[in-house]
Structures are given as structure tokens and as C-alpha cells.
């Protein structure tokens, strides 16, 4: 996910994603070349912009037209105070970046200082043909064909006192309905994401209004999950609290939106870890191997709930908010364990999730605290977490296994029921010497992915999963 914080010292977009066409930094159409290539390798499926909190103070007209003529504006948010925004990176640049890296575009409309009309005009600018005012403006600005932006959010964290445009549940439910109504009048094919959270008292009025007149005006309800943690074992258990939270929201959706024709899915459109010791400087935290294990655990949860979770966006892509998989300075970049987890689960995984069970020891993780949520106690966290997926077209079975144990390897017998395995495979392992190992500019490979060949005799086989590791077993196999 991209968020246009704009604050120079955070470098979330300016200086990292965008350097401009006149910059001495190597670039492609103004996008920093090394960041572009790293993002393309990461292969995100969808990117959200302009936020996040900045979305609720951002006026899209400031970011279109010739760059030298765009106004310099102020984005007053709680997190970044009064930040000067050059508007060099706007709608055209965002869509161009997404197309270069092969990602869908997800635009978040301004509810805090905006209006339904402003949001509808943005949809018109991006998606309409013909000679309407804003489609003509787009053509004048160099794009004759519509952008066809499919995903549109209505505000961000509007339930929070920190957000510009904060309102109560009933007011937001009415507001989201009005936004969605006029936006769909411009383009009825768009998908609408409304602001949800961990609280039923917020989500219920929104979902109830979503079915008014037997017409669902939203397609997704969002939820944001950030985790503070005190120790290693609580951190790697956090995804299980997320799974409970997602399941609870899905139960409410099923109870309120009863019709199968009116399915509302979950959009986890912000999630990450938040280092407790970073305090007010959490935006500058360095991620370690244990954060990579947390990320892999979140992927397992989302795959297990793939019928209910339709969108997920890590916050952010680069440097900030609270951290991104790609970390840059003026000259170079390195990738952290979250990036490596994305590489592992993006390029070595199947397209169909299978049932997988484990018989393994467990531990007591204590109370898990998500930012803004009530602590949940997790007293039975298995040391191993297994995810099984298959790509039938390529004849590959993928077993992703997280060994959460900090000190002990896990020797396991693996039984593949209903599959005929061929006699070779590959093991991809994300690991490092310690759970606190981290990459940096001087040592970019402290945490890395290693590979080795698997020799399989067919049927059941054994494998030793190293402590504090994520392993992806890529097996040539076909259903019996």
C-alpha cells in the first residue's frame, strides 16, 4: 500500500517511489528505478493511495495537470501535522506506477474535508468516456482512454478521534451511502470499500444500511490491524488474534447481510506490526526476522479465510507508516524480512488453499494487544503453523510451515493424503541466526531466503523445520 504522507524525512513516496524526471537519481518516467524494480519483483496485486490519514484531507484536483502548475498544499493530519505537499505525485503518477508493477489501483476518496460530489468527479475523471467535464480534463492531461479504476474507498478510520472528519457510526453509515450512491451513478461497475473496524457497534449500522432497498451499496468493509508486542512469542502469535477478529467480523456480515447476492467481503486494507520500544518514533522502526515470521503468519490467516477476505494491504510499501518492505536512502535500498516473506508467498504458492492439520505442542502467548482493540488472551498457540496450497496446472503442491519455536528445530512426519508425489522438490527457507537479526544498508543479507533440493521417496516423508523459520516446500505432486 502507498500512502502520500509527504513528510520529507519519511520518504514514503518522494525520494523513494517518485524522484521526478529531472532527478540525477536513475529513474523510469520519474519513478526511482531500483524501487520500481524491487516492487515489480515483489509483484503486489493491489496498491492503495493516497492513504490512510492523508486521504481525508487530499483534494485530487491539486494533483492533476502539468506538474509545474500544480499548487503546493498542506495536508493537516494528526500523524504528520501540517505537511507541505508538492502534488508532483498525483492520480496519473499513481496509476502509471501501478501499471508498471502490474498492480490493481485502489483509490481512497476524501470524506474528512471532501464531498460526495468531489469523489464522484474523481470517478468520472478516471473512468468515464465521452465529453463530460472531467473526462475531457483527463484527455487534456494526456490520457484519452479511461483509467478504469475498479476499487474505491470511502474515507479512512473515520471512527477515530485522530481522523479529520471523525464521526459516529450512524453518521458514517449515512455518509458512506451518499458517497456510494453518487459514485455509482458515474460508474456502476466500481467496487466500494467502506470503513469498518474491530467494533460491532460501528460495523452494524453500516452493514444494516448496506442492504437498504435490497441494494448493497458497498462491496467491502475494511478493518485495520496493527500490533504492539512485548516479546517474541506474543508477536508471532498476533496473527491468531487477527484470525479471531476477522472471523467475528465475518459472522456479523453473515448475520446482517443475509442474501448471497449481496455478499460483502472484508478488506484488511492496513496491517502491520508496531514496535513497542519505538514509541513516538515507530515510523522509523527497523524490522527483524521475527517481523517476517509475523508477516508469514498473517498470510496463513488470510489464505485460510480467502473466501471472506478479498483485499489486503500492508502499510506501507517503503520506509514508513510504521515501516515498509523496501527501505531506501538517497543512493541505495535494502529489503527487510517482510519483503522476503512477500517474495516467498507471492512466487512459491498455489492458487487453491487446501486443508492442513498439525499435531504439535503449544504455548501460552498471554494477552495480545491490537492498537485500538481490547486485548485478547491466547493460551494455546501451536509452535507450528502449516498452510497447504496447490497449483494443479503446474502439478505443484506447496507446504508453508512456520516454526515459531525460538530455540528448537521441529522434526516432522508429513503425510500427503490423496496425492502422488514425484521424487524431487525444493525447500525455500526464510531464516537468520537470531530472531532479532535484521538487514540494513551495510549488511543487506543478514536475513535471507535459501534454497535446497528435496529428495522424496513418495508417500509420507520427514523434514526438519529449523527454529524461528518460515519454510516453503515446493513439491511436484498430482492428485490421485
Q: Are 269 and 311 in contact (CB under 8 A)?
A: yes
Using alpha carbons, list the distances in angstroms from residue 253 to 167, 179, 245, 316.
Answer: 22, 21, 13, 28
Report which of 269, 237, 195 is spatially closest to residue 369, judged by C-alpha positions: 237
Catalytic residue among 7, 88, 124, 270: 270
Task: Calculate ∠ Cα 386-390-394, nearest 5°.
Answer: 145
Using alpha carbons, list the distances in angstroms from residue 117 to 122, 178, 220, 342.
Answer: 9, 10, 21, 38
Torsion sign over Cα 3, 8, 10, 16: positive
Task: Return phi, psi of residue 174, to 5°.
Answer: -70, -40
Joined grid coordinates for residue 29: 518516467
Catalytic residue among 3, 88, 93, 157: 157
d(CA 270, CA 22): 33
Joined grid coordinates for residue 314: 500492508
> Could you identify the residue written with the cell 471472506?
308
213: burial class by Cβ within 10 Å (0-12, 13-18, 19+)? exposed
Report which of 203, 84, 92 is spatially closest to residue 142, judged by C-alpha positions: 92
d(CA 226, CA 378): 17
Task: Return phi, psi of residue 471, to 5°.
Answer: -125, 130
Question: Between the CA atoms of 78, 270, 50 and 276, what dihedral angle is there, to the nearest 10 degrees?
Answer: 40
d(CA 193, CA 201): 18
d(CA 27, CA 328): 14
Joined grid coordinates for residue 325: 518492505
Per DSSP bridges, beta strands 461-465 and 410-414 are antiparallel
Q: Are 89 and 13 in contact (CB under 8 A)?
A: yes
93 belongs to the catalytic site = no
Joined grid coordinates for residue 224: 485495520
270 belongs to the catalytic site = yes
> DSSP states of 252-280 as a string?
HHHHH---GGG--EEEEEEEEEEEGGGGG
> DSSP states of 242-253 as a string?
HHHHHHHHHHHH
d(CA 379, CA 364): 4
Q: Return the active site residues.
A: 157, 270
Amino acid at each position: 500500500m502507498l500512502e502520500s504522507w509527504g513528510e520529507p524525512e519519511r520518504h514514503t513516496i518522494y525520494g523513494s517511489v517518485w524522484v521526478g524526471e529531472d532527478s540525477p537519481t536513475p529513474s523510469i518516467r520519474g519513478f526511482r528505478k531500483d524501487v520500481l524494480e524491487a516492487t515489480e519483483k515483489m509483484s503486489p496485486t493491489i496498491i492503495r493511495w493516497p492513504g490512510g490519514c492523508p486521504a481525508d484531507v487530499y483534494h485530487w484536483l491539486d494533483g492533476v495537470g502539468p506538474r509545474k502548475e500544480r499548487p503546493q498544499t498542506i495536508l493537516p493530519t494528526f500523524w504528520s501535522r501540517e505537511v507541505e505537499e508538492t502534488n508532483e505525485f498525483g492520480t496519473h503518477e499513481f496509476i502509471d506506477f501501478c501499471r508498471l508493477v502490474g498492480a490493481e489501483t485502489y483509490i481512497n476518496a476524501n470524506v474528512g474535508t471532501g464531498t460526495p460530489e468531489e469523489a464522484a468527479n474523481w470517478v468520472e475523471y478516471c473512468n468515464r468516456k465521452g465529453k463530460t467535464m472531467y473526462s475531457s480534463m483527463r484527455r487534456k492531461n494526456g490520457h484519452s482512454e479511461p483509467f478504469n479504476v475498479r476499487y474505491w474507498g470511502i474515507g479512512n478510520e473515520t471512527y477515530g478521534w485522530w481522523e479529520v472528519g471523525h464521526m459516529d457510526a450512524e453518521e458514517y453509515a449515512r455518509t458512506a451511502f451518499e458517497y456510494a450512491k453518487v459514485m455509482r451513478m458515474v460508474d456502476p461497475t466500481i467496487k466500494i470499500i467502506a470503513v469498518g473496524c474491530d467494533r460491532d457497534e460501528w460495523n452494524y449500522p453500516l452493514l444494516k444500511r448496506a442492504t437498504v432497498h435490497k441494494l448493497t451499496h458497498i462491496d467491502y468493509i475494511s478493518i485495520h490491524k496493527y500490533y504492539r508486542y512485548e516479546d517474541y512469542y506474543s508477536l508471532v502469535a498476533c496473527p491468531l488474534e487477527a484470525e479471531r477478529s476477522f472471523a467475528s467480523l465475518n459472522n456479523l456480515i453473515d448475520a446482517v447481510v443475509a442474501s448471497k447476492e449481496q455478499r460483502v467481503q472484508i478488506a484488511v486494507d492496513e496491517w502491520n506490526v508496531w514496535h513497542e520500544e519505538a514509541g513516538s518514533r515507530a515510523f522509523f522502526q527497523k524490522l527483524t526476522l521475527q517481523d517476517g515470521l509475523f508477516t508469514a503468519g498473517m498470510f496463513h490467516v488470510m489464505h485460510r479465510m480467502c473466501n471472506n477476505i478479498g483485499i489486503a494491504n500492508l502499510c506501507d510499501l517503503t520506509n514508513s507508516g510504521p515501516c515498509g518492505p523496501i527501505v531506501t536512502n538517497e543512493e541505495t535500498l535494502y529489503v527487510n524480512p517482510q519483503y522476503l516473506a512477500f517474495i516467498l508467498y507471492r512466487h512459491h504458492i498455489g492458487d487453491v488453499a487446501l486443508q492442513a492439520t498439525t499435531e504439535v505442542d503449544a504455548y501460552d502467548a498471554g494477552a495480545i494487544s491490537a492498537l485500538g482493540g481490547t486485548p485478547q488472551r491466547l493460551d494455546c498457540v501451536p509452535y507450528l503453523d502449516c498452510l497447504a496450497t496447490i497449483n494443479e496446472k503446474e502439478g505443484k503442491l506447496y507446504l508453508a510451515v512456520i516454526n515459531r519455536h525460538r530455540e528448537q528445530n521441529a522434526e516432522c512426519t508429513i503425510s500427503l493424503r490423496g496425492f502422488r508425489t514425484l521424487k524431487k522438490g525444493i525447500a525455500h527457507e526464510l531464516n537468520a541466526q537470531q530472531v532479532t537479526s535484521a538487514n540494513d544498508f551495510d549488511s543487506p543479507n543478514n536475513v535471507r531466503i535459501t534454497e535446497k533440493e528435496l529428495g522424496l521417496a513418495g508417500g509420507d516423508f520427514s523434514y526438519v523445520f529449523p527454529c524461528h523459520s518460515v519454510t516453503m516446500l515446493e513439491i511436484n505432486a498430482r492428485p490421485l
